[in-house]
Amino acid sequence: MTDRHAESAGATVPGVPADDTPPRAARAEPGPAERDPAGPGSAAPGSAGPADGLLPPLFARLERWTRDQPDETAVKAFDGTLTYAALTARTARYATALAGAGVGPETSVGLLLGRSRESVPALLAVWSLGGTAVPLDPAHPVERLGRVLRDAGAAVLVAPEVPTGLEPRGITLLAPADVRRSAPGALAVSVPAPDSCSYLVYTSGTTGRPKGVEVTYRGLDTFVDALGTLGLPPGGLGLNAVSPAFDGWLWCTLLYLAHGQGVALTDLSLDGLRQAAAEGREPLPAGLRTVSLTPSLLAAHGAGIDTAEVVVVAGEACPAALAERFARGRRLLNVYGPTEVTIAATWSDSRRGDDVTTIGRPLPGYRAYVLDEELRPVPAGTEGELHLGGPAVARGYRGRPGLTASRFLPDPFQGGGTRMYRTGDVVVRRPSGELEYRGRRDDQVKIRGHRIELGEVERIAAELPEVVAAACCPLSSGQTLGLAVVAAPGADPAGLADLVVERCRKQLPAAAVPATVRVLDRIPTLSTGKADRQALAKALAEPERTPGTAVAAQGAGPTTSERIVMAVWADVLATDVTGPDADFFELGGHSLAAARAVSELRRVTGLRVGLGALLAEPTARHFAAELDRLSAEREATATATATDPADPADPADPAEGA
């Protein structure tokens, strides 16, 4: 079932072997594997001469680029850059510090470094020791961070400081400042047991608590080897704008490092956009060579990637119009993959002639089956559920044997104890072999590229004693969630929506916090008794009618500019904008919607209004005033240009000619 492509990944890189196999690195000293071929070993990237031992694929590539282009940028972030030589040296420092803290095989290490340049060497250091990386996002609520650290059994937390409210009892804190002051040394890489856990990524769970996916080193090596077949050119920058807590961040980081590009860590969240506006810079760095974004982010920020030679879309279904737009004159890849099969599983590639509106074919080493409910293959052109197999299938969910057994099934097509993952995604296999995504079988949704179980949001809301029922649904824009709750008998409905939102903000990532929360008398249901999410979305999209709301005075209607702004906001947010004093973010706006709204208003008005104007004071009235100011400046410039003499002698005073 796996498609392997004859095209050489290294053909575009002079001097690279045709199979893109990196040169072998020498060991600094004999490792245990030399004494016991079945046991773990170690190797040292950067040492010269032939080697008897093998580095894991990722470190073999790091060794190659450190040797071939030591002064090229490997990591670029808000707090500085690291060259490939500096990245390897910094990784060695972290590895020494982590080993001193007791980190070894399967020791869980929390990484709470945000988008700092320190995040990459810290991750690599954990892997060099065979440990288990637990990536975290400082923007997540502290309650969620604490729950993840406890569930992961983290022994060490790498962070500049402990966030207020987080109590990492029994966990050793390792600060980057202390690591940088430690003595330098060579990087020795352990060869971990293939089935040990390389990292834990926590995804949304139907039980109301996140579930940790245990990805093995075998899966990580399989994935990195598959990346090598892409054949990106070395040098330049690749964009990583993903939350550091999700495996999309790993996708971007490993994609670029495997090919000798620099990882440009960028924050496109609301806080990141505000910071960029305050500093007077564009959100995206200049000179990007490769860009990987969700289709939603690409649509919002695509104007800033003119230099990109390769564009990767992932995390959401890619609309045909968007694929066509960004495939012009460049290479486009559409990548698909659940966390449970090590980051990515299939891709389509315009350079290969694929239809990039599909999710393509399996990566090398991966298998894809389209099956019916009895786990039998369906004919080409028939819908079925996608199941994924191969060595990259994860170990399962940490501490959740029942859930693991229900989603990770024996692979009947391979046997030998192999397993496949039941994705819940409905696809059609075309006669060409390409897979066409058709949607989900369950209540899982993607919001701005984040995988969210609607049941998790509902359960967190229903844990409030004032709530007796809750139902969640994606709103019509597809970029935000709506939530309806029913108040418990005797509970005061007034203020209940705010209480629910507050609880969700404390428990959930930003993308999972409902943009609209309403208190209803009842939840609309289907004949089965389940929530009618389609009817609910329609009800939540209607403006809320509050008794006693004052009627606007006659003659005080919005200006032309205000009406333009309100119309665009209504379209972007898929909700009514009731007046010029409406607040963009209170209406459910977020960073992605803000970028889209500004982009659309630039197109409609022809004015180069900045994102900072919306972030500074997000009312339609204020934004319209900024448009009026820019329009007046443009008219004044045009008037001045029209009255300027074409020839300085034309308006000469008659006396000058006397």
| DSSP β-bridge partners for residue 525 | 531
In the block, tokens 């090229």 appear at 72
Mean pLDDT by 10 residues, the chain (658 residues): 29 25 32 32 43 80 97 96 97 96 97 97 98 95 93 97 89 94 89 97 73 97 96 95 93 97 93 86 90 84 87 86 87 95 96 94 96 94 95 96 94 93 93 89 77 82 84 80 85 88 88 88 67 82 54 56 85 79 83 83 84 84 87 76 52 36
| DSSP β-bridge partners for residue 420 | 389, 409
Four-residue CA torsion sign, 56, 58, 59, 65: positive
Topology adopted by domain 61-192? Rossmann fold (3.40.50)
- Check for a shared fold between 61-192 and 452-541: no
Which candidate, 510, 460, 508, places its Cα nearest to that of 485? Answer: 460
Task: Write out the H or E segment, with its range, that includes residue 323.
Answer: helix 320-327
Structure tokens at 348: 């389509």
- Which pLDDT value is given to residue 206? 55
- Which pLDDT value is given to residue 530? 63
Distance CA 296, CA 313 (A): 9
- Which pLDDT value is given to residue 222? 97
- Which pLDDT value is given to residue 527? 52
- Which pLDDT value is given to residue 600? 84
Distance CA 632, CA 565 (A): 17
Quote the distance between the C-alpha of residue 154 and its chain's center: 23
- Which pLDDT value is given to residue 477? 66
- Which pLDDT value is given to residue 8? 25
Q: What is the pTM of this model?
A: 0.73
Distance CA 363, CA 368 (A): 9
The three-class DSSP label of residue 458 is: helix
Which of 3.30.300.30, 3.90.1150.10, 3.20.20.140, 3.50.50.60 is the CATH number of 452-541?
3.30.300.30
- 227 and 255 in contact (C-beta within 8 Å)? yes
Give the relative orientation of helices 496-507 and 142-152 as an angle to the nearest 10 degrees: 40
- Which pLDDT value is given to residue 652? 39
Q: Residue ranges per domain, the chain?
A: 61-192, 452-541, 560-632
> Helices (DSSP H) in 188-246: which residue ranges?
217-227
| DSSP β-bridge partners for residue 202 | 212
- 611 and 277 in contact (C-beta within 8 Å)? yes
- Which pLDDT value is given to residue 205? 61
- How far, in Å, are 129, 156, 528, 582 from residue 122 at the CA level? 11, 12, 50, 44
Provide CATH code, domain 560-632.
1.10.1200.10
